[in-house]
A and B are shown apart, each in its own frame.
Chain A
Amino acid sequence: MKTLKRLIAGGALLLPAVRAEAEEGGAVPDITEAWHHLWKELLLDITIIGVIFAAVTLYLLIRYRRRKEGEEGKGTALTPLASLGWVLIPAFIFLADDVFLAAKNFELWNKMREVPEGSYEVRVEAYMWGWDITYPGGATATNELRVPEGTPVKVALSSRDVLHSFFIPDFKVKWDTVPGMETYIWFYPRTVGEHVMTCAEFCGTLHSSMHGKVIVMPEAEFKKWIEENTPQKKA
């Protein structure tokens, strides 16, 4: 029921209603965790459909193999009612699954697109072939995105030349950088560690070399790094 409600809200484009619900919790949602969760549900869903269809197919292929020369099929025409039933019933089952999946999808999608309050914002400009990173205080870096542990990070994306796509596989987030436009993603680094960030939209000869690292640091170390790298204003 709750799912259905969300879908109706999402489907009718009444996004504020969905958003309000997402905010109720107050805590920052872990969208990476949620991605894995939905992915597992989805794999189960498609595996079940797949196994049923494959089993039926295999059964039919074996059961109805030709046993005698000159034998012909015995399929008969359907009654008008049955013929409509064989359209409407499968269509209804598919539609129900589609509605269910769409609802699940929008639940996560809305979280992915709604940057939590208090996120740390960095700017990333893509170019052929690398990433220029600018921190709020003016510190800059290339291809190494340092972020503090335990704080949601918003990445404001832009491009200096052609299309690229900013992708951190470990966090399950990706968004295109488009010349003349600002786009964004956010992610939630909860533990210290290093992750690949890499370009996912074809951008020319060295597309596959356009990669760097996301380095999640303990809060204190990160602060220190920022201080050391922020250009000092001349007095």
Chain B
Amino acid sequence: MSSTMVTGSVDTHQASGSGFSLKEWVFTTDHKRVAVLYMIGAFAAFLVAGIMAILMRTELASLGPTVTDNPAAYNTWLYFHGAAMILGYQIPALTGFFANYYVPLMIGAKDVAFPRVNALSVWLFWMGLVVALLTFVIPDPPDIMWTGYPPYSILTGGNTAFYTFTVLLMGFSSIAAGVNFLTTIIYMRAPGMAWSKLNIFIWCTLAAFIIQIIFVPILGVAVTMLSLDKYLGTHFFNAAAGGSALIYENLFWFYSHPAVYVIFLPAVGLIYEIVATFARNRIFNHMKMVYYGIFGVLALTGLVWAHHLYIAGIPNWMVLIHVFTTLVISIPVGLLMIGLLGTLYKGSIQYSTPMLYAAGFLFLFLIGGLTGIPNAMSAIYMHLTDTYWMPGHFHYVMAVSMTTAILGGTYYVLPKMTGRMYSETLGKLGFFLFFIGVNITFMFTLLMGVKGLPRRYYDYQQFPELEWMQQWATIGSYIILLGALVVLVSWLHCAFFGMRVGPNPWGSRSLEWTHAPSPPPPGNFGGEVRVPEDWSPYGYGK
């Protein structure tokens, strides 16, 4: 079995040569190039969805119409923003870009197990992106929010099929990637790379793909049923014909809560890598973090979905169970945070840009996690749910925290990808703008939620007293935009004008830095990697 996998990876050697060739990029099966394709797609989605965020924030800055007098336009921006940020940006950045770039390099493999399937994954993702972007072209764009709840999504004049197909394309891409990466991690580790020697990021990626393989098909089923109802006359969700919207709500969250951990786990894995490298320290309680933190999350992730549905009309016994499981999932997540803090302890922390993002993560995720506790409690949740509190909470805990991991992770890997160093000044400037901006925007978002402003509101005539808070949130979003532009400039500057650096500018002990040149050639290591008995990717201080 393993011999076929090795031959499978041999054809990546063809993808060498110098100079830019479009054909080589389109037909590439090299995991590092696939990673770049994911990276471009994911950040493009981030950019466009970010522009939607700026449009929404500007619209909200004053009572009454500001940018548009058409609420449907706002709803379409919000639909695109939510769907693209999750399905087009965060999941592909973490399980596409970083998984592709790091997994083979960290485990000492020449490529993934099935390089052609890998190419299929990335192009399915791109097709999903294109279908999503058609939102801005077709005359009747989807206006159903990324949750797509029926019966509205069935009754609307908007084109729900585009939603279904976006989700299905992204979903098939994820399932194929899941099979590929699980196989790679299980069978393609370098000789001597025992399970106990794997980087935390690898464990996180493994867990994330296990979640994807189990739960994505359920989302696929749910959104397919939507379009069947809308276009082919079935009645899964039609109450008049004996169906129920609640079936969809349950199926949707049965996937979409675990999806949060598909994002969280690789992101926290990246933060672990960054902290270990820049603190030059061993990982605190390494294998316990894997067993109880990562696998703890994995064990509970499928048992908490109904915390999205406490007031949706589910039976009370379901509420009781899910309040408890939701509170309990704070335990493995809390352990993973303690592991990060323990890794700082007795470290020697160097504040390069990636480490600043990791430090920012610790605070943003703390706020995000703590603002999640009230949501777990059904009685408190009754007021908070579907208000601005929710976008406040999940932007802290997911959108923004995981973005610190993605941006920090990108700064971290850039010298490997390009062989060049970014400018620390630009890097740090971008970080501080981002950090200040998100706190202004999302603190006010949380506050407006406590005051009872419902989310997904184009306007808020019934809450005129909140206008000043909306304005602060908008100011914050402009600071974020400025930060994002600085980040983009710093990356381009790095790719074209950055100073050349050696293979391991950070002094990391992990394989991708110690054994591969920057940038790594096809096949990665120029020979077989053997991992010695006493090696660890975090073997510092020896």
Are A178 and B312 in contact, CB atoms less than 8 angstroms apart? yes
Q: Which residue of A lies closest to B249 (CB)?
A: A163
Are B284 and A163 in contact, CB atoms less than 8 angstroms apart? no
- Of B152, B316, B457, the contact of A163 (CB 8 Å cutoff): B152
Contact of B380 with A by CB under 8 A: yes
Contact of B72 with A by CB under 8 A: yes
Among A49, A106, A176, A202, residue most surrounded by chain B Cβ atoms (within 10 Å): A202
Q: How far is the CA of A108 from the CA of B347 in the complex (A)?
A: 45
Q: Which residue of B lies closest to A92 (CB)?
A: B331
Q: How far is the CA of A161 from the CA of B351 in the complex (A)?
A: 56
Contact of B285 with A by CB under 8 A: yes
Q: Which residues of B contact A101 (CB under 8 A)?
A: 327, 373, 376-377
Contact of A222 with B by CB under 8 A: no
Closest CB in chain A relative to B141 CB, distance in Å: 13
Contact of B461 with A by CB under 8 A: yes
Q: Which residues of B contact A17 (CB under 8 A)?
A: none
Q: How far is the CA of A228 from the CA of B337 in the complex (A)?
A: 63
Contact of B222 with A by CB under 8 A: no
Mask: chain B, 349-368; 1 = CB below 8 Å from A; 0 = not: 11100000001001100110
Quick one: given A84-B288, A162-B152, A169-B451, are A73 and B348 in contact (CB under 8 Å)?
yes
- Of B71, B348, B456, the contact of A66 (CB 8 Å cutoff): B348
Quick one: given A53-B337, A94-B334, A173-B383, are A179 and B245 in contact (CB under 8 Å)?
yes
8 Å CB contacts to B: which residues of A54-104?
54, 56-57, 60-61, 64-67, 71-78, 83-84, 86-87, 90-91, 94-95, 98, 101-102, 104
Q: Which residue of B lies closest to A173 (CB)?
A: B382
Quick one: given A46-B373, A176-B312, are A73 and B362 in contact (CB under 8 Å)?
no
Closest CB in chain B relative to A193 CB, distance in Å: 15
Are B458 and A208 in contact, CB atoms less than 8 angstroms apart? yes
Are B152 and A64 in contact, CB atoms less than 8 angstroms apart? no
Q: How far is the CA of A110 from the CA of B296 in the complex (A)?
A: 30
Contact of B300 with A by CB under 8 A: no
Are B370 and A50 in contact, CB atoms less than 8 angstroms apart? yes
Q: Which residues of B contact A179 (CB under 8 A)?
A: 151, 239-240, 245
Are B288 and A86 in contact, CB atoms less than 8 angstroms apart? yes
Contact of A231 with B by CB under 8 A: no
Contact of B452 with A by CB under 8 A: yes
Q: How far is the CA of A78 from the CA of B282 in the complex (A)?
A: 11
Contact of A146 with B by CB under 8 A: no
Are B456 and A64 in contact, CB atoms less than 8 angstroms apart? no
- Of B143, B317, B347, B366, the contact of A53 (CB 8 Å cutoff): B366
- Of B71, B313, B455, the contact of A206 (CB 8 Å cutoff): B71
Are A75 and B149 in contact, CB atoms less than 8 angstroms apart? no
- Of B334, B379, B541, the contact of A73 (CB 8 Å cutoff): B541
Q: How far is the CA of A15 from the CA of B387 in the complex (A)?
A: 29
- Of B151, B341, B349, the contact of A162 (CB 8 Å cutoff): B151
Contact of B386 with A by CB under 8 A: yes
Stretch at the interface among B45-53, B266-274, B318-326: B318-326
Are A73 and B380 in contact, CB atoms less than 8 angstroms apart? no
Q: Which residues of B contact A206 (CB under 8 A)?
A: 71
Q: How far is the CA of A10 from the CA of B319 in the complex (A)?
A: 11
Contact of A138 with B by CB under 8 A: no
Q: Which residue of A lies closest to B452 (CB)?
A: A169
Are A112 and B383 in contact, CB atoms less than 8 angstroms apart? no
Are A202 and B145 in contact, CB atoms less than 8 angstroms apart? yes
Q: Which residues of B contact A109 (CB under 8 A)?
A: 319, 323, 378-379
Contact of B91 with A by CB under 8 A: no
Closest CB in chain A relative to B142 CB, distance in Å: 12
Quick one: given A178-B245, A205-B143, A208-B71, are A196 and B285 in contact (CB under 8 Å)?
no
Closest CB in chain B relative to A203 CB, distance in Å: 6
Contact of B454 with A by CB under 8 A: yes
8 Å CB contacts to B: which residues of A168-222?
169-170, 172-176, 178-181, 183, 196, 198-209, 211
- Of B284, B346, B457, the contact of A64 (CB 8 Å cutoff): B346
Are A106 and B323 in contact, CB atoms less than 8 angstroms apart? yes
Are A176 and B346 in contact, CB atoms less than 8 angstroms apart? no
Q: How far is the CA of A56 from the CA of B383 in the complex (A)?
A: 32
- Taking Cβ atoms with an 8 Å cutoff, the residues of A that contact B are 10-11, 13, 15, 35, 38-39, 42, 45-46, 49-50, 53-54, 56-57, 60-61, 64-67, 71-78, 83-84, 86-87, 90-91, 94-95, 98, 101-102, 104-106, 108-109, 112-113, 161-163, 165, 167, 169-170, 172-176, 178-181, 183, 196, 198-209, 211
* Leading 5 A-B pairs by shortest Cβ distance: A180-B239, A169-B452, A73-B281, A208-B457, A98-B327
- Taking Cβ atoms with an 8 Å cutoff, the residues of B that contact A are 71-72, 75, 143, 145, 147, 149-152, 155-156, 239-240, 244-246, 279-282, 284-285, 288, 292, 311-313, 316-317, 319-320, 323-324, 327-328, 330-331, 334-335, 337-338, 341-351, 359, 362-363, 366-367, 370-371, 373-374, 376-380, 382-383, 385-387, 451-452, 454-463, 540-541
List 27 A-B residue pairs with CB atoms under 8 Å apart, sorted by A's residue number. A11-B320, A38-B380, A60-B345, A61-B344, A64-B279, A64-B346, A65-B349, A73-B346, A76-B346, A77-B282, A78-B284, A86-B338, A86-B342, A91-B331, A94-B334, A105-B323, A162-B155, A165-B454, A169-B387, A178-B244, A178-B246, A180-B240, A201-B149, A202-B75, A202-B149, A202-B152, A204-B143
